[in-house]
Structure 1
Amino acid sequence: MSLIKYLFALVFILATFQAEAGAALDVNTPGVQAIKLRMQARHGQLAAYYNSGAVGLNMDGTISLRDEASVPLAARRQLSALVEAENGDRERLYSEIANANGHPEWHNEIRRVFAPRWLNFAQRGWWMMSDRGWIQK
Structure 2
Amino acid sequence: MKKLLLTGLLSMTLMGGVGLLQAAPDLEANTPVITAIKTSMQTRHAQLQSYYGSGAIGLTQDGYIAVKDASAVPLSQRGGLAGLVKDENSDRARLYKEIAAANGHPEWQGEIQSTFAGRWIDKAQAGWFYQKEGAWVKK
Range class of TM-score, shorter chain = 0.7 to 0.9
- Report the counterpart of residue 72 of structure 2 in structure 1: 70
TM-score (ref. length: structure 1): 0.81
- Report the counterpart of residue 103 of structure 1 in structure 2: 105
- Cα deviation, 1:29-76, whole Å, max 9, x if unaligned, reads 110010000000000000000001001111112110011011111110
Percent identity, please: 52
SS at match of 1:117: helix
Q: 1:132 to 1:32 in 2, by over 3 A?
A: closer
User: What is the alpha-carbon root mean square deviation over aligned residues?
Assistant: 1.5
Q: 1:116 to 1:76 in 2, by over 3 A?
A: same
SS at match of 1:128: strand
Q: 1:77 to 1:28 in 2, by over 3 A?
A: same
TM-score (ref. length: structure 2): 0.80
Rg bigger for which structure? Answer: 2
Counterpart code for 1:87: N
List alignment gaps of at least 5 residues for structure 1. 1-19
Q: May I ask how many residue pairs the two structures share in their alignment?
A: 118
List alignment gaps of at least 5 residues for structure 2. 1-21
Asked if the contact 2:56/2:70 (under 8 Å) is kept, the reply is yes
Q: Following TM superposition, by how much is the alpha carbon of 1:132 offset from its aligned partner in structure 2, in angstroms? A: 6.3
Q: Following TM superposition, by how much is the alpha carbon of 1:129 offset from its aligned partner in structure 2, in angstroms? A: 1.5
